[in-house]
């Protein structure tokens, strides 16, 4: 008497191969590192022990992928945010060397976003950080970032525009629950808006 295993193997060998199902939604957002990993934040700045779950949950609910942008503070200054005694992180980033490093990581981030966009994916937004973030704050004047925006965000928008890629920027103000609720509402509307 044949074993169950041999019967199953024989039955499976006569079945046509299954085509894999591709469930990609082809919609993404670019998100700063600390939204997906609060451990990247400067000492005392984390709003949760791990990640901003509300943002992740909203993206998951709407079938939107997340591309992680690198932390400019860590890229420029290291985990300890090394800088001159008494100097601010913003002052350390907003130097010739700091802007050059932010431009370098912006070019790398833009390469990835351009790859997605050219392959037909919709990049729905670039999600920056809290208003006081030296690298990732987003302060808008219409669609343009103001000079008070983070050094990295300004460099990234400039690099994307240089490549002919326009995408909305928005800060995720997770240091204040009421402001984050406004940002999440904006993001949900963006996710629900029809588009190519």
Q: How far apart are CA 44 and CA 194, in angstroms?
A: 39
pLDDT tens, 29-70? 999 999 998 888 888 887 888 888 999 999 999 999 999 999
User: For residue 196, what pLDDT is reported?
Assistant: 61
**What are φ and ψ of residue 53, in 5° steps?**
-60, -35
Per-residue confidence band for 107, with pLDDT thresholds at 50, 70 and 90: very high
Return all residues near 56 (Cβ < 8 A) that are at least 6 apart.
35, 36, 66
Check pLDDT > 90 for residue 94. Answer: yes
User: 3-class DSSP state for residue 129?
Assistant: strand
pLDDT confidence bin for 118, thresholds 50/70/90: very high
What is the model's pLDDT at position 6?
73
At 124-152, the pLDDT tens digits run 999 999 999 999 999 998 889 999 999 99
Output phi, psi for 133, to 5 deg.
-65, 125
Terminal-residue alpha carbon distance, the chain:
59
DSSP 42: P
Assess whether pLDDT exceeds 90 at residue 18: no
Angle at CA 177, nearest 5°, toward 176 and 182?
100
Nearest to 172 by CA among 192, 188, 157: 188
Considering the domain delimited by 26-192, tell me its CATH architecture.
3-Layer(aba) Sandwich (3.40)
Domain spans in the chain, listed from the N-terminal domain onward = 26-192
Q: What is the pLDDT of residue 185?
A: 97
Phi then psi for residue 137, to 5 deg, are: -60, 145
Whole-number Å distance between alpha carbons of 41 and 50: 11
Quick: pLDDT tens for 70-80.
999 999 999 99
| Chain segment 62-71, per-residue pLDDT in tens | 999 999 999 9
Residue 100 pLDDT: 96
Q: What is the pLDDT at residue 76?
A: 93
Q: For the chain, what is the mean pLDDT?
A: 91
Distances (CA, A) of 76 to 3, 39, 96, 142: 63, 17, 11, 29
């Amino acid at each position: 008497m044949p074993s169950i295993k041999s019967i199953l193997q024989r039955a499976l060998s006569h079945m046509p191969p299954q085509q894999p199902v591709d469930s990609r939604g082809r919609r993404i957002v670019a998100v700063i590192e600390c939204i997906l990993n609060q451990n990247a934040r400067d000492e005392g700045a984390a709003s949760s022990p791990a990640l901003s779950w509300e943002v992740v949950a909203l993206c998951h609910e709407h079938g939107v992928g997340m591309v992680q942008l690198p932390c400019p503070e860590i890229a420029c200054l290291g985990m300890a945010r090394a800088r001159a005694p008494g100097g601010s992180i913003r002052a350390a980033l907003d130097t010739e060397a700091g802007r050059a490093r932010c431009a370098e990581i912006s070019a790398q981030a833009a390469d990835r976003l351009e790859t997605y966009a050219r392959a037909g994916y919709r990049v729905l937004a670039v999600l920056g950080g809290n208003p006081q973030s030296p690298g990732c704050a987003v302060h808008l004047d219409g669609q343009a970032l103001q000079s008070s925006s983070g050094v990295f965000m300004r460099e990234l928008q400039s690099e994307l525009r240089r490549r002919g890629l326009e995408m909305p920027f928005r800060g995720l103000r997770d240091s204040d629950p009421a402001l984050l609720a406004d940002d999440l509402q904006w993001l949900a509307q963006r996710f629900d808006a029809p588009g190519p």
